[in-house]
Chains A and B, each alone.
Chain A
Amino acid sequence: MKDKNIKGDPEFEKKLRDKMKELSSNVDCFDKISARAFPENDSDFSDSEFTVSDLENVTGRHRAAPILKWVAAAAAVVICVGVLPKTAFVQDFLSNFRKDGDDKYRQIVSEILSETEEHTYDIYDMTLKEYIAYDILVDPLYRSPFEDSDNEDIRVRFFVRTAAPDIFTDQVYAVEYTGEFRRSNIIAAAESKVKYSDKEFDELNSDCTFMSRSEAQYAVDTHFNGDKYGNMTDEDGNFVAAASYEYKCFMKDGNEINSVTAQVLYSMGEECGSYYDMFIAAYNEKTDAYTAVELPESKDMWKCSINFDGTSAMPEDNEGGFARKDYFSGINDAVTSESMAYYLPFEDAADSILSDGHPDLLEIVPDMQEKTVIAAPAAYASKILMQVYISPFNFFQYSSDSNAKILIKVSGTDEEIRIHQSDVIDHIGEIDTSSEEMEKLAANNEKIEAEISEQSQKAQEVYEQEQNRMKAEAHNIEAVTVPEEIMIDPSKNPAFTLTSPN
């Protein structure tokens, strides 16, 4: 199905297509693929000089006799028990080690360090204060497992296991530390309830469908308004900045693993505070159905959160900077010409602005509107698709300045993002149609296109036959005969007819 509303550049498209075809025509790697996909099971290596009769011993070294192993182990125990403890260093080390808390804490820290080294994790690092303020922008599924503290030197490192570069899982860890990040500086650690075994992880299909949906757009249309200057206001008339992002991840529910997309809609206002809500949907390709997922209590998502002395680090109440507000109930399912417009501030941003180690604070300064502030999600994949909403009728439409802009200052960098009118995606001029009607229209367009294509193919065939006949006549080839059914009289039998289903 082609979209008639989008004007392409046929010349450029053809040039690119042709060049790419030329380039890929040199690629020939099927043998390589086939060898890897269908390895021969019973390859005969008997003629090879490198055949090893005992495959366990490929290095050719003599194995130590079992008795020697025992002697070596006994000697090591003697050294450890009898000699080492008498040295001052070990005495000091052991006493410090005992102070570090109970087995559980040490076990979690060991697991975090080895697990995050062994498997692929996205790592976010920020101060504890920042993490608590913006926890839903680090991982929307997990609220902070740590209590707030007056100590501004405490940092949090958050680890999310990833299945593909932009696909996350709900296996996460978090640690609190001071100074440089190393084992001895960790003061608290938390682990998620969900863990994936190697087998489960291997079976995760990173290519399954993570649907992008529009509930956040519907929700922002329902719960926010625009004033005559284009400012966004909440239901009480407070100036706010509102944004949304998508977070795609695998979620484990018992033995079942679902691919889910969480849409997070959030707002920040100087006078009214920060709010968020989340809509999580899992898509099942087999049944073509969406499953709305509701998360359990925040605390229940964590297996434990523990201080170095063995006490619980889990806060009594949620202390996160964002309070949950019901944005996703009772929303419409249609985009209208009055729907909120939006822009993607990071879509064209330079890599230096897109560092994905922590949530960034964006100061939004439009030419003719109130200044607002909003934070951006931590993950690169979420950041690049972050949508900041703006009233559909805004200053861009009446500004006499041809270079009217929204200036966005990103905290921690000297760089700025500039949003111009062409960057704003609005729905003005669109026909108010529900998703169902849009599907019908698209199906109808497809029928018409198929009809046109069929007709043009017929016309082409007739034209070619006619050309052949004329060539044959020109060369006086007597043997050439043209079948009667393609002898055409254009006035009676036009080669090309356009029909409309209406």
Chain B
Amino acid sequence: MDAATKSISGGDTAIFTVFTESGKVSQPDNTVNELISDCATSKESLSKLYLMFKDSVFAVAFGITSDYHLSQDCVTETFVRLTQVKKFSAKKGDGKGFILTIARNVALEFRRRYKKEISNFIIQSYGEAEKTVEDSIYINQLLKHLNDVQRQTVILRCCAELTFKQIAKVMRCPETTVKSRYKKAISILQEKAGEDQ
């Protein structure tokens, strides 16, 4: 481990030792980051972020909740929370990953809160615009053979177009695990597609 250590505090409390990782490449998207920093006070910045990430945020939320309305609420809640963020480093942060992390947290929270209500998606969507219901069912059918984490991985990769490294950061798990989940998800989908034909 490449670690230069330095004690910050000790005694009764935790001891902190700083170490840096060599060769780490960090290339934040400054435009997005600046918009995030400004969106608490600027409606224009918020609007730009909304246009840029609405689709990805919706996709992440839909991947978790499988429910159109709940996903729509997640989009609202995600951008509202984005305006309330107090700590975000415009220089170092990964803006897109940051927004999608909020979206994922919001969706997990909503799913936990409304778990019973979304258990029967088809009945719940009765009366909605036909196209919306049709699309929702279609996507749920596409992803029905995948478990929760595989669905999230596939959506973050395909719809939000994140790299495996970014997905690992959003889902808080090792990159190797993300890659393995993705490979497995694709093989399941191919296998099931073969069975259907």
Contacts and interface: CB of A to CB of B under 8 A. Distances in A.
Interface of A: 1-3, 5-9, 12-13, 15-17, 19-27, 29-30, 32-34, 36-38, 164-166, 203, 205-215, 218, 246, 248, 251, 253-254, 258, 261, 282, 285-286, 288-296, 300, 331, 333, 344, 347-348, 384-385, 422-423, 425, 435-436, 439-440, 442-443
User: Which 10 pairs show the lowest CB-CB distances between chains A and B?
Assistant: A436-B23, A24-B58, A294-B15, A37-B83, A292-B17, A23-B135, A165-B108, A13-B158, A33-B79, A24-B55
B158 A16 contact: yes
B149 to A, nearest CB: 7
17 contacts: A3-B164, A22-B131, A24-B58, A26-B129, A37-B79, A164-B108, A166-B108, A205-B86, A212-B168, A246-B172, A248-B172, A289-B19, A292-B17, A293-B16, A295-B14, A422-B184, A436-B22
A436 B2 CA distance: 11
B30 interface: no
B26 interface: yes
A298 to B, nearest CB: 12
A30 B50 contact: yes
Interface string B112-145: 1000000000000000010110011011001100
B20 A288 contact: yes
Interface string B63-88: 00000100110011001110101110
B142 to A, nearest CB: 6
A435 B136 contact: no
Contacts of B17: 291-294
A285 B93 contact: yes
Interface centre among A29, A253, A261, A385, by most chain B C-beta atoms within 10 angstroms, is: A29
B158 A207 contact: no
Nearest to B109: A165
A208 B172 CA distance: 11
Contacts of B40: 37
A253 B139 contact: no
A6 B164 contact: yes
B14 A251 contact: yes
A22 B135 contact: yes
Given A36-B76, A214-B174, A347-B181, A291 B2 contact: no
Contact of B92 (A5, A288, A294, A425): A288
A371 to B, nearest CB: 26
B139 A23 contact: yes
Contacts of B175: 212
B1 A34 contact: no
A443 B17 CA distance: 29
B147 interface: yes
B16 A20 contact: no
Nearest to A289: B20
B25 A443 contact: yes
A212 B186 contact: no
Q: How large is the interface on B (under 10, 10 to 19, 20 to 34, 35 or more residues)?
A: 35 or more
Contacts of B46: 33-34, 37
Contact of A292 (B5, B92, B190): B5
Given A1-B163, A206-B105, A285-B89, A16 B154 contact: yes
Contacts of B102: 207
B72 A27 contact: yes
Nearest to B78: A33
Interface in B1-51: 1-3, 5, 8-9, 11-26, 39-40, 43, 46-47, 50
Given A19-B139, A165-B105, A207 B98 contact: yes
A241 B18 CA distance: 32
B89 A286 contact: yes
Given A20-B62, A22-B135, A211 B169 contact: yes
B173 interface: yes
Contact of B24 (A2, A254, A288): A288
Contacts of B18: 289-292
Contacts of B155: 16, 20
Contacts of A439: 23-25
Given A16-B158, A33-B76, A253-B9, A1 B165 contact: yes
Given A37-B80, A254-B9, A290-B21, A331 B55 contact: no
A12 B189 contact: yes
Given A253-B14, A435-B21, A33 B80 contact: yes
A29 B108 contact: no
Contacts of B59: 20, 24
Nearest to B136: A23
A120 B95 CA distance: 28
Given A8-B158, A33-B50, 19 more contacts: A3-B163, A7-B183, A9-B186, A17-B158, A20-B62, A22-B131, A25-B55, A26-B132, A30-B47, A34-B47, A37-B40, A164-B109, A208-B87, A212-B172, A212-B174, A212-B175, A218-B1, A261-B172, A439-B25
Given A17-B159, A294-B14, A435-B23, A6 B179 contact: yes
B14 A290 contact: no
A246 B62 CA distance: 26
B1 A331 contact: yes
B121 to A, nearest CB: 13
B2 A333 contact: yes
A294 to B, nearest CB: 4
Given A27-B58, A27-B75, A166 B158 contact: no
B195 to A, nearest CB: 14
Contacts of B138: 19
A308 to B, nearest CB: 28
A384 B47 CA distance: 37
B173 to A, nearest CB: 5
A290 B163 contact: no
Contacts of A13: 157-158
Given A19-B142, A166-B172, A425-B176, A36 B80 contact: yes
Contacts of A425: 176-177, 180
